[in-house]
A and B are shown apart, each in its own frame.
Chain A
Amino acid sequence: MPEAVRLSYVAALILKAVSAGRCYGLEIMEVAGLPSGTVYPALRRLESAGLIRSRWEAESIAAAQQRPVRKYYEVTRDGAAILTTGAGSRYLLPEFQSNSTPSAKR
């Protein structure tokens, strides 16, 4: 786990949303209730801090569903550690802290 990582409330919320299986930008916006100008920069920061990583979905899946490819985000081991034991959990309500099952969106 990276030392001395302090997450803001928004970053913790987005990290939790990603860990709960809200995997691409629009979906995270919807669940977190935050605008795009907040969510995407926070995703960049989390990614550069090594708490989440991103990957493009396979083009064949997108083509089959007649839509553009999505960029999915997932929590890294460090991110998960921060969320459960570190600064990130400090802000989250108990019900949000419980490990919800990721929704099978992929």
Chain B
Amino acid sequence: MIPALPHPVPVICRMLLWLAARLVPLERREDWLREWRGELWHWMSQRAEEHGDTQASAVLRSHCWGALQDAALLRWADWNLPPRLREWAVRPEFVFVASGGAVLLLAAVSFGFQHTRRILLPQSYSLDDRLILVSQQFPFMGMRTGLRSRDLDRFTEKSQDIATFASYVWYDAAFDGSVIVRAAKVTPDFFAVLGVSPAMGAGLSAECPDCFVASDSFYRRHLNADPSALNRTFQVEGRAMRLSGVLPPGFAFLSESPGIWTSFPGTASFRALTPSRRGAIARLHDGVSLGQAQAHLGLLNVPYPKTMDLDIVPLRSLSTRVRRVYGSVFLGALFLAWVWALLAYVREQRRSLRYWSIFGAKLTALVVLLAVVVFELTGVHRMGLAGDQRMANEFAAAWITLFGAGFAFWWSWTDHRKRCRVCLYRMTLPVRIGEPGRLLFDFDGRELLCPNGHGTLYTPESALETHEPESWYSLGETGDVVETEKSEP
């Protein structure tokens, strides 16, 4: 019978042991539990005491985590992966399959991958070439600044090519006094210009300045998809506003982020509103080309200097541009993957080829993952700024890609050069070698050892001419010779 413990066993330790015991194969469970309970007793009565009361529970937890690791390994060790599968798991193909699987899983699990979804699924409105974004000034640092508010009326009145103009501003709004949500303030005809009808209720109109529409995700998340919320009054920005409609699921205009769409009180009030610039979209008349519209609107923009030239971009081109940019990243990464995989298949010719092919595979997998992350993260629009932020995001994406790719290369290289050239295990047991000498606090370098005994790696402390360069010394055969000699009489 086990004597009573000096302290009660913490709940977390009991839970860990219970969980670990469930993992251990049934035929070995009793024996395993007996050993671990005995060790726990020893630990609590002797070792944990040495750490003092304040740390005892932390030390115990760490000890019990070990039980979980032990049990998990017992369970998995019995599975005994087939040798061919185990061998395959260190090949570059495995890296491709695993990283590809991870991306697929990510895409499947996060159904909120809004940009991927926007590319794969059709938009809820027609993105034909007549739907355009209009801005004064060409994109500066990748960001469009929209139109001056005072020019909007003039453009609307005098342009013969534009059927309808609408404008928008992003902002953050307090909803029901407690939640801050992304919102957009738009002209009442905004959705008509896009050609979008609400899935429920009615859209915005000039007759109802205190109405707002909600996105489908906002309706589900904050209003619990309750149909009775329609036509109810909520506090938006401290104003009592009525929910007049809900947008179709998946609706996105440059972003899916805005949950609330409110309307400007009226066109004439633009001048009085800040900020002085807002994003503008327009629909061209039938038969009017982009070039004609550019020329005509340019004439209306004449009073302004060259730096304020008008820029017209079809809304569709923004998404196709994104597809092109990221599509080329994917294709490039795919191409690299194929090249490295090809090299990997002939790796038996030379061992070093396998080493470098896995390095390439790792780097490629990182680049693909980076592309996915950049693609999704930089698509999130920064709210509160006027104009189209898509271009700004592309600019940010370029920088993130550049630095990310640099980091991916640096990490892959740093990680890989410290691995065994034969088994690719991480080298261990660093030993400082050489003498302190030429420089203050200087020593020659360090030697790392392969945990499977394949060789050693000498790495100089700093890249000086006086130091030997990094070098790999294979123990593959030498080690065996030494051992043989030792065993001989």
A residues whose Cβ falls under 8 Å from a Cβ of B: 6, 8-10, 24-26, 30, 35-41, 44-45, 48, 56, 63, 66-71, 85-87, 89-91
- Beta-carbon contact of A91 and B453 below 8 Å: yes
- Beta-carbon contact of B77 and A48 below 8 Å: yes
6 contacts between A and B (CB under 8 A): A9-B449, A9-B451, A41-B70, A63-B1, A85-B487, A89-B486
| Distance of A30 Cα from B429 Cα, bound (Å) | 19
Chain B residues whose CB sits within 8 angstroms of the CB of A40 once the complex forms = 66-67, 69-70
Given known A8-B451, A37-B65, A90-B479, contact A45–B77 (CB-CB < 8 A): yes
Q: With CB as the reference atom, state the residue of chain A lying closest to B423.
A: A6
Min distance, Cβ A55 to any Cβ of chain B, angstroms: 11
| Distance of A70 Cα from B62 Cα, bound (Å) | 21
Counting residue pairs across A and B whose Cβ atoms lie within 8 Å, the total is 87
| Distance of A9 Cα from B38 Cα, bound (Å) | 27
Instruction: Please tell me the size bucket of the interface on B.
Output: 20 to 34
| Distance of A26 Cα from B453 Cα, bound (Å) | 28
B14 at the interface (CB under 8 A from A): no
Main secondary structure of the interface of B (DSSP, over half): helix
Min distance, Cβ A95 to any Cβ of chain B, angstroms: 15
- Beta-carbon contact of A66 and B3 below 8 Å: yes
B468 at the interface (CB under 8 A from A): no
Given known A44-B74, A67-B42, contact A87–B69 (CB-CB < 8 A): no
Q: With CB as the reference atom, state the residue of chain B lying closest to A35.
A: B66
Residues 58-83 of chain B: 1 if any A CB is under 8 Å from the residue's CB, otherwise 0?
Answer: 00001101111110011001000000
B141 at the interface (CB under 8 A from A): no
- Not counting A38-B66, A70-B38, a sample of 9 additional A-B residue pairs whose C-beta atoms are within 8 angstroms of each other reads A6-B453, A35-B66, A36-B67, A37-B65, A41-B70, A69-B38, A71-B38, A85-B486, A91-B453
Chain B residues whose CB sits within 8 angstroms of the CB of A37 once the complex forms = 65-70
Chain B residues whose CB sits within 8 angstroms of the CB of A85 once the complex forms = 483, 486-487
